[in-house]
Amino acid sequence: MTRIHAERALVEGRELADVVIEVTDGRITAITPGGSAENADLRLGTVLAGSGNAHSHAFHRALRGRTHDQGGDFWRWREQMYAVADRLTPDSYERLAEAVFAEMLVTGWTTVAEFHYIHHRPDGTPYEDPNAFGTALTRAANAVGIRLTLLDTLYLSSAAGKPLLPEQSRFGDGTAEAWLERWQRLHQTHAVGAAIHSIRAVSPDDIALVAERVPAEVPLHVHVSEQPAENEQSLAAYGRTPVQVLADAGALSPRTWLIHATHLTDADIALIADGGAGVVMCPTTEADLGDGIGPARELADAEVRIALGSDQNAVIDPWLEVRGLEAGERLRSRQRGRFSPADLESARTSSGYAASGLPGGLRIGACADLVELDPGSVRTAGAALDQLALAATASDVRRVVVGGRVVAEDGRLADGRDPAAMFTQALKELG
Examine residue 393 and state whether it is found in any structural domain, yes or no: no
- Alpha-carbon Rg for the chain, nearest whole angstrom, is 21
What is the pLDDT, as a whole number, of residue 63? 92
What pLDDT is recorded for position 67?
A: 82
Average pLDDT over residues 98-111: 98
What confidence tens digit (pLDDT) does each residue in 200-226 have? 999 999 999 999 999 999 999 999 999
Instruction: Starting at the earlier edge strand, list the strands of the sheet with 109-116.
Output: 51-56, 109-116, 147-154, 192-196, 220-224, 256-260, 278-281, 306-308
Question: What are the tens digits of pLDDT across the range 231-290?
Answer: 999 999 999 999 999 999 999 999 999 999 999 999 999 999 999 999 999 999 999 999
pLDDT of 308 > 80? The answer is: yes
Question: pLDDT tens digits, residue range 137-148?
Answer: 999 999 999 999
Check pLDDT > 90 for residue 389. yes
Q: What is the mean pLDDT of the chain?
A: 96
The reply to whether 67 falls in a domain is yes
Does 260 qualify as catalytic in the annotation?
yes
Q: What is the mean pLDDT of residues 183-209?
A: 96
Residue range(s) defining the domain that contains residue 178: 51-355
Number of separate domains in the chain = 1
**pLDDT of 76 higher than 90:** no
Question: Can you give the pLDDT at residue 430?
Answer: 86
Nearest Cα residue to 216 out of 256, 271, 177: 256
Rounded CA gap, 360 and 27, in Å?
10
Given this model, what pLDDT does residue 52 score? 98
Helices and strands: H and E segment counts in the chain: 14, 16
pLDDT range class, residue 69, cuts 50, 70, 90 = confident
> Shortest CA distance to 8 belongs to which of 285, 358, 331, 376?
376
Give, in degrees to the nearest 5, the angle at Cα 402 between 400 and 404: 100
- Rounded to 5°, angle at Cα 130 from 129 and 136: 70
In DSSP terms, which residues pair with 281 in a beta bridge?
308
Whole-angstrom CA distances from 31 to 12, 14, 20, 294, 422 are 11, 12, 6, 37, 36
Domain membership flag for residue 254: yes
Q: What is the pTM of this model?
A: 0.97
Is residue 307 included in any domain, yes or no?
Answer: yes
pLDDT bucket at 130, cuts 50 / 70 / 90: very high
221 is catalytic: no
Question: Quick one: pLDDT at residue 104?
Answer: 98
- Partner residues linked to 401 by β-bridges: 370, 406
Query: Is 381 inside any structural domain?
Result: no
Q: What is the Cβ-side half-sphere exposure of residue 207, based on CA atoms within 13 angstroms?
A: 26
Q: How many CA within 13 A on the CB side of residue 110?
A: 34
Task: Specify the CATH number for the domain of residue 122.
Answer: 3.20.20.140
pLDDT of residue 242: 98
User: Sign of dihedral through CA atoms 341, 342, 346, 350?
Assistant: positive
Judged by DSSP in three states, 121 sits in coil
**Residue 263 φ then ψ, to 5°:** -115, 80
**Is residue 43 one of the residues assigned to a domain?**
no
pLDDT at 426 over 80: yes
Q: Is residue 402 part of a domain?
A: no
Nearest CA among 40, 28, 3 for reference residue 18: 3
Question: In this structure, is the dihedral angle defined by the CA atoms of residues 38, 2, 42 and 352, taken in order, positive or negative?
Answer: negative
CB-CB contact of 237 with 161 (8 Å): yes
Q: How far apart are the C-alpha atoms of 18 and 35, rounded to whole Å?
A: 5
Select which of 260, 263, 291, 317 is catalytic: 260
Q: For the residues 9-37, what does the mean pLDDT come to?
A: 97
Residue from 152, 311, 317, 374 carrying the catalytic annotation: 311
Q: Is the pLDDT of residue 73 over 80?
A: no
Instruction: Give 331's strand partners.
Output: none
What pLDDT shows up at residue 78? 83
Q: What percent of the chain has pLDDT over 90?
A: 94
Tell me if 232 is assigned to some domain.
Answer: yes
